[in-house]
Amino acid sequence: TYKACLFDLDGVLVDTAIYHFQAWKNLGTKFGYALTEEQNELLKGVSRVESLNRILTWANYSATEDQKSTWLIEKNENYLDLISNMNPSEILPGVLDFLNQIKQAGYKIALGSASKNAEIILSKTGLIEWFDLIIDGNKVTKSKPDPEVFLKGASGLGILPTECIVFEDAQAGVEAAKAGNMRAIGIGDVEMLRQADKVIPNFVGIQASELLQF
């Protein structure tokens, strides 16, 4: 039986991808590159440093290590500025109702996110009070699809990986969950999330007792 739900942040609980997109686009002007929305899709779930590496590859720009570290700081400062006004209205539809259902049913709730800014976002949106444990980009050394972030979630809660259900919108995240021996529920498009055990478009109208079979 399942004892915990582990949630990805961006794309599952809130949509911070719009802010990441804006901040990366702004950074791109420094090396004359216009990031597209399609490319931004490919950065979902990918760490900050890996995102910059991908963008520089697309831009065919070879930056020095110094430039890269400056740009990573600049991008994040801009991103922090953009998310500074986030509020509870930005929680994705159906999420609060779903959290309420699983809490009532006695499930533990944890975060498994690549973001180093996860706590700020959870605080600004008021989501933080729902979480028993937060594993974010500051606590892991390996990015998804490595299962580290979710395995740390399970061990932090003191339960087995096989007792965890992961909610993920990114392919790499679904892969991470499966690699960690967990049940994976994809949020989004079934074509994009083939490895998930089940895919739902979003949390609107989702009956936790049906989805999680309790």
Residues that bind ligand B16 (CB under 6 A): 8-11, 20, 43-48, 51, 76, 113-117, 137, 170
CA 95, CA 103: separation in Å to the nearest integer? 12
Sheet with 183-187, strands from edge to edge, namely: 133-135, 108-112, 4-7, 164-168, 183-187, 198-200
CB 181 within 8 A of CB 155: no
Stretch that binds Mg ion, among 45-53, 99-107, 135-143, 144-152 (CB under 5 A): 45-53
197 in active site:
no
| Residue 8 binds Mg ion (CB under 5 A) | yes
Nearest distance from residue 182's CB to Mg ion, in Å? 16
Q: Is 145 in the site for Mg ion (CB under 5 A)?
A: no
Element holding 196 (H helix, E strand): none
> 200-209 burial, b if ≥16 CB within 10 A, otherwise e?
beebeebebe
CB of 122 to ligand B16, least distance (A): 11
21, 35 contact by CB (below 8 A): yes
Q: Does 136 bind Mg ion (CB under 5 A)?
A: no
Given the complex with ligand B16, which of 145 and 161 has the nearer CB atom? 145
Q: Rounded to whole angstroms, how far apart are CA atoms 193 and 190?
A: 5
Q: Which of 21, 40, 45, 149 binds Mg ion (CB under 5 A)?
A: 45
Q: Which does 116 bind (CB under 5 to 8 A by kind): ligand B16, Mg ion, none?
A: ligand B16
Residues with a known catalytic role: 8, 10
Q: Give contact residues for Mg ion (rule: CB under 5 A).
A: 8, 10-11, 45, 169-170
